[in-house]
Amino acid sequence: MSDSPMNQPRGDTPGSGPVRPAAGATTPAAHGRPGAAVHDAPDIHTHPDSAEMRQRFDKVLEGPRATAVDGLAVLTGLYAAISPWVIHFQSSNSVMAVNNLIIGLSIAGLGIAMAARPLRLMQLGWVLSVVGASLVVSPWIVSIAHHAPRALIWNNAFTGGVAVMLGLAAMGVIATGRRRSHRA
Domain range annotation of the chain: 65-183
> What pLDDT sits at residue 34?
55
Rg (CA), the chain: 27
Which stretch of DSSP H or E encloses residue 12? none
* CA–CA distance, 80 with 105 (Å, rounded to integer): 8
Q: Which among 68, 83, 84, 31 is positioned nearest to 173, based on CA atoms?
A: 68
Chunked mean pLDDT (size 10), the chain, 184 residues: 52 50 51 55 66 59 72 96 90 89 96 83 88 95 83 95 94 70 50
174 CB neighbour count, 10 Å cutoff: 20
Burial 139-151 (b: 16+ CB within 10 A, else e): beebbeeeebbee
